[in-house]
Amino acid sequence: MLKIILFCSSGSSTSMLIGRIEEAAKARGIEVAVDAYPEAQMEKYVEEADVVLLGPQVKFILPKAKKICSEKGVPVDVINPVVYGMMDGEKVLEQALSLAKK
């Protein structure tokens, strides 16, 4: 099972995206667990993740996120703003799967 954690400014704007990612994974027969938290809680939850994705509204914390995540061996990236805005769970799932393979 792939554990994906999304971090955004408050943890609430990604709730709909979580459902879309889970739907996309189910359609492909992939087991995932997806959670979202405010970026301020990253250090608390990063150890639970296989992959960390940042909402575009917090892309400015990518350097900090890379430092925190690299110490735990967890890949991290920012979700494309267009993909995020469209709530495209399939594309976010693809991004997470690609990061997990690296």
Catalytic residues: 8
Name, in order, each residue with C-beta under 8 angstroms of 26's C-beta and a sequence gap of 6 or more.
none
74 vs 51: CA distance, rounded Å: 6
Order of strands across the sheet that contains 51-54:
32-38, 2-8, 51-54, 76-78
